[in-house]
Structure 1
């Protein structure tokens, strides 16, 4: 008679994290952002460090707020579609997901100075902006030839049947990853114009993170004698919390055409809460250990369709992340009323990322120093005006923060856009943005098993209404 084994596998924290994001990966994810913003900002790939005059630009250089000469507001609607192709030992799966929401709303108040003051005006602004959405899903299927539940030395289980069976033949391996949530920001900013050649600005931003990840791994094995093993592992990671940071910047009007910008964005100081659980087929859950607990959880394997647990450790865990700061240098050349071209360079040192409490994250903070690197990003944007129409385009390139990463993991993107001046006080803008990069998923924690290759292609459509008074 054939035996059919079904069990839930609870393993050590390190093995569990092989499916879900590691703390190093979380630190990188929570430090990154997408090209969200107003349609004008998105159409020029965010190259606004020396320009200003846009609500989203204050997140790069708050001095750009001083470019506004009047009071106004803007609101933005975004649609994003991502196609993900996974490849694992010759098997390919194509996945697609999309996301739609209001992604920006902000306002500005410009107050001219009176008398003979060298400070010509003072400008105050507020802006809500979506930084990154985490909504994505992909699946991986194939056969590595390695039976994970037999090969991994960390697994600790007991067979309650005296007839030992070794399931060393792999029929199929399947992995799915589902994520959702957002990272958004609310910014208060202030800027002033000194004489006719210098703008100065400062900002404070309040960040919010709400991240959810569900990973599912299933493996079909057999022993060559008709005995089958269907083993799977289902994990849930939830991380949420808040943070804040400061920004400072200046824009110098070198001459009638040339603008030079310099800005600094401090680290974001996040306070986060994590919950990490595993469920069985009947939705009975067991929490995993705290990250600083070293040890294994025993799993009892049964020859019927039940799984048994004999240990439980709850996990609601508070911790902090300090993301790397940003230093941005910018140039812009203005061709009168006809158009402009702008360039931004941003430097970030990801080795400065810190997880706290430090005593609980000794190994992870060492990994941040050894696995990550400093990065450079380049943005170039242009805009040309013809009567009531503005034609825009841009390109951006961001290096991967991981040392020894393949060049294909660097993020590249281009953008196009159109602005329409409907009246003296109302503008309507559109943008299209395309971003591509590659990644990998090491969901089987065996050195000999290669990770799955992932190709990401994201298209984003943005529309913005701007009203000036």
Structure 2
């Protein structure tokens, strides 16, 4: 390892950068999750617009929706979310409340008629998913964070985890990341923080410095970000019976997460007394997909069909880590702070998200109202990391082929009743992710009111949404499951005007 000593004479900056891998199956789940958002009218009716059209957010479900419009229209929507998150770690319940404001939708449509033919052009910005969360949970556990560091340290030469006289914490951490990857960096943190120690007469086998029957764990996770979908749309119709359209969608994803893990409660004779492990993760993605759709009118009935292609997204990711431990040494408690002062910048990669297909049925009751139903499926097994020259990504693709074999399903039902220029709306929705994706389930109901002012319209809606899913504390080593019940009460307001 002496060659690295000369190499790092070039890097004397306080803050440095390391290159490695970070991708996981969680990327697919996070950026393809279901979320009910958009205009207030769209939300009030449960998002059941695949066969209705005539709403700017409906364009993101079925591109043929733009050709239903009669007039040019512009609209903007904002939302307020009140979140309650209840986590369960080994039977210990923790509840956290938070709130966020979002831009749900922004867009416009331009309509051109020529005899029996009609053409439309539209742009719509849709909030596909909001990642904003801030929650804390705690509980007792018979598994400790030592298992995380032991997992990554297994097989790593102990000489690689030492800091020589002409090296620093930063230089070794960076060298390991650039030459051996994320796993060796974790082994280094655990070793230098005295969470683990090498066995006598062994160069690559480790033991824990912790003694415990169970430990106390406290976790705080703060997330911010959104998945926005920009749709450039073209649509058309003939004889007011057959409607069709296409979208070129641009996806912009921003996601940040800060995770603080605290552990204590070891036995009195344990060398390790407490652990504080801080991680910061940042991900930015930009990609595209295409959509095609049609709506057919048969008297008062409408049938809608749409297909969204797999979404291709290029991601750039980075993270930082700090480990602080308290270790018993004789009659003293020593504090060790392992702060590499390094941003790990991971290799840029491309992810293909699953395709989606939607079918919708609706019935129009003249000027009195309507009822609408949507059914949508998402096939997770056509997701993949397409870099065939990368062994790590090929391993993830193998997991996708063998574990993400199920299909997610979404059902949406909505209705609207009109009284002159007033509209009363209601809807329900249900999403069930594949059982092998930690039981992701979302359901809820919605209510809404709309006031037609002639050349403009004001809409407001209330959405009550609950979701359930499970996660691991860490993907490797400390894989204890915790469950999350999340309740969201949303107030959404839209303003639309014709021009």
TM-score range, shorter chain: 0.7 to 0.9
Residues 197 and 449 of structure 1, relative CA distance in 2, 3 Å threshold = closer
Distance 1:363 1:335 in 2: 54
Residues 280 and 341 of structure 1, relative CA distance in 2, 3 Å threshold = same
Correspondence 1:207 to 2:238: no
Correspondence 1:193 to 2:237: yes
Residues 172 and 403 of structure 1, relative CA distance in 2, 3 Å threshold = closer
SS in 1 for 2:150: coil
Count, aligned residues = 427
TM-score (norm 1): 0.84
TM-fit CA distance, 1:32: 2.1
Residues 308 and 340 of structure 1, relative CA distance in 2, 3 Å threshold = closer
Residue 459 of structure 2 is matched in structure 1 by 429
Structure 2 segments unaligned to the other structure (5+ residues): 1-18, 154-186, 201-206
Paired residues for 1:94-243 under 5 Å: 94-114=95-115, 119-149=116-146, 153-154=150-151, 155=153, 156=187, 157=191, 166-169=209-212, 170-225=214-269, 229-243=273-287
TM-fit CA distance, 1:172: 1.5
Distance 2:144 2:306 in 1: 52
SS in 2 for 1:97: strand
Correspondence 1:456 to 2:486: yes
Residues 147 and 389 of structure 1, relative CA distance in 2, 3 Å threshold = same
Distance 1:367 1:379 in 2: 31
Structure 1 segments unaligned to the other structure (5+ residues): 1-12, 283-299
TM-fit CA distance, 1:446: 7.5
Q: Is the 8 A contact 1:187 1:206 kept in 2?
A: yes
Correspondence 1:24 to 2:25: yes
Correspondence 1:270 to 2:310: no
Paired residues for 1:62-461 under 5 Å: 62-114=63-115, 119-149=116-146, 153-154=150-151, 155=153, 156=187, 157=191, 166-169=209-212, 170-225=214-269, 229-254=273-298, 256-280=299-323, 304-307=334-337, 314-360=344-390, 361-372=393-404, 373-403=406-436, 405-406=438-439, 409-421=440-452, 423-443=453-473, 450-461=480-491
Residues 374 and 247 of structure 1, relative CA distance in 2, 3 Å threshold = same
Distance 2:319 2:272 in 1: 30
Residues 174 and 152 of structure 1, relative CA distance in 2, 3 Å threshold = same
TM-fit CA distance, 1:226: 7.7
After TM superposition, the structure 1 stretch with the greater mean CA deviation from structure 2, 141-150 or 387-396, is 141-150
SS in 2 for 1:263: strand
Q: Is the 8 A contact 1:148 1:444 kept in 2?
A: no
TM-score (norm 2): 0.79
Residue 175 of structure 2 is matched in structure 1 by none
Distance 2:211 2:270 in 1: 12
Distance 1:75 1:190 in 2: 20
Distance 2:477 2:411 in 1: 35
Residues 453 and 308 of structure 1, relative CA distance in 2, 3 Å threshold = closer
SS in 2 for 1:354: coil
Residues 112 and 153 of structure 1, relative CA distance in 2, 3 Å threshold = same
Residues 87 and 195 of structure 1, relative CA distance in 2, 3 Å threshold = same
